[in-house]
Amino acid sequence: MAVHSWNAHPIPGPHKGVPADRMCENDQTSKIPLPALPTHADVVSQFEQLGGSLTPFPQFGKDPLHGKSELMDLRNTEFTRKYLDNNIFH
């Protein structure tokens, strides 16, 4: 995993150390509970209300699980368990 390998590599020089260790030592970060974050639709709406414009990306390819709701749910559950439940940035 790229983020993990970056956070685990030693940095030479005056601010030396491993980024993940230094972050824990300084502990100037905090976890944000997911319910506190706005939804994608809310963020887009707010951005556009402030005069911004976004170009939506066209759908890329076909979802091989399209129409198979049980498999889509399983994929989403596994993705969340693997990548979102564990804070990959800490």
* DSSP string of 7-44, one letter each residue: HHS-B-STT-B-HHHHHHHH-------GGGSPPHHHHH
Assess whether pLDDT exceeds 90 at residue 4: no
Q: Is the predicted pLDDT of residue 9 greater than 90, yes or no?
A: no
**pLDDT computed for residue 50 by the predictor:** 95
Statement: residue 85 has pLDDT above 90: no
Predicted pLDDT at 7:
65
The pLDDT tens digits of the residues spanning 10-69 come to: 777 777 778 777 777 777 667 778 888 899 899 999 999 999 998 887 778 888 999 999
pLDDT at 71 over 70: yes
Token output for 39: 């939804």
DSSP 8-state assignment for residue 61: S
φ/ψ of 63, rounded to 5, equals -75, 120
Q: How far apart are CA 87 and CA 68, in angstroms?
A: 29
d(CA 36, CA 28): 19
